[in-house]
Amino acid sequence: MFYGSMTAIITPFRDGDVDWKAFDNLLEWQIAEGTHGLVVCGTTGESPTLTDEEHKKIVERSVKLVKGRIPVIAGTGSNSTAKTIKTSQHAKEAGVDGVLIVTPYYNKPTQDGLYAHYSAIASAVDTPIVIYNIPGRSVIDMKPETIGRVARDHKNIVGVKDATSDISRVKATAAAVGREFDQLSGEDGVIYDFLEAGGVGCISVTSNVAPAACAALHNAWRADKKDEARKINERLMPLHKNLFVETSPAPVKYACARLGLCANELRLPMIPASSNARKAVDEAMQQAGIAAVQAAA
């Protein structure tokens, strides 16, 4: 259902508000560059600092603008099951192709608690669900066995965004669920190995900056041109690495600003990338053959 290069899109801000013109232009540019899908209101989109109304408007606007040309997935997860259900129901009504639901951070539920959380959501919201497992931010780790259990019981749980960087998890999850289950990497830096292990795509930060190259990597892979995919990935590796020299999305938002796509503005507690991080991003863009159009801030 979901595959290839799926951009975890940034949310552009200007003077404290969402920059809607820049947002519309970003989505159109992503589609024109060949991106296979869009994920809005995720971590890269600074979802924790969006108001409920902004979240709703972004989801509704994305669906209306994209018009079915590529899938739109909305980040709707929280550490409250009831709130997640409510937000996911709105996303379904808006017409999204799926929802991305992060494991409940801070609460630290058990594996049985995780099963109960996703089971309740899947029972309440009839739309494709992608589990987002990111222990580095959420503390908890949803095990392949738990993913398998809840996915077998709820057919609308169709995939996982795996941000563990543990390639062995791909085969373990496939063994628990089956190969029809969409496994999407949440880490750009391991994408080639992830695909080699049986994954089908990446919910990508790098593709905010290099959408055409990221799409070409996945297109080459799906065409069984593995050497071409490997070479593209090697060229992108400096970006995969340096877009995370500081907490995302600060570096990627700076990179997008250098491309003239948005202002280099984040919402507290996130702050713009430091001078050292900006230098690292500039070097990575140069190595990847991406020409900036804005002077370095």
pLDDT digits (tens, 9 = 90+) for 94-104: 999 999 999 99
pLDDT digits (tens, 9 = 90+) for 46-89: 999 999 999 999 999 999 999 999 999 999 999 999 999 999 99
What's the confidence (pLDDT) of residue 123? 98
Contacts of 180 (CB under 8 A, 6+ apart): none
The number of residues making up the chain comes to 297
Longest dimension (CA), the chain: 53
Amino acid at 137: R
Reported as type and span, the H/E element at residue 241 is: helix 226-242
Residues with catalytic annotation?
A: 132, 161
What's the confidence (pLDDT) of residue 3? 97
Question: What are the structural domains, with CATH classification, of the chain?
Answer: 4-225 (3.20.20.70)
Contact 87, 55 (CB under 8 A): yes
- Report residue 183: phi and psi, to 5°: -105, 115
Do β-strands 72-75 and 37-40 pair in parallel, antiparallel, or remain unpaired?
Answer: parallel
Select from 150, 104, 100 the least CA-distant residue to 128: 100
Select from 61, 66, 130, 60 the least CA-distant residue to 91: 60
Residues forming a β-bridge with 137: none
What's the confidence (pLDDT) of residue 297? 65
Q: Output the CA angle 47-53-57, nearest 5 degrees.
A: 85
Contacts of 177 (CB under 8 A, 6+ apart): 144, 147, 148, 151, 152
User: What is d(CA 87, CA 65) in angstroms, rounded to the nearest whole number?
Assistant: 20
* pLDDT tens, per residue, the chain with 297 residues: 899 999 999 999 999 999 999 999 999 999 999 999 999 999 999 999 999 999 999 999 999 999 999 999 999 999 999 999 999 999 999 999 999 999 999 999 999 999 999 999 999 999 999 999 999 999 999 999 999 999 999 999 999 999 999 999 999 999 999 889 999 999 999 999 999 999 999 999 999 999 999 999 999 999 999 999 999 999 999 999 999 999 999 999 999 999 999 999 999 999 999 999 999 999 999 999 998 878 776
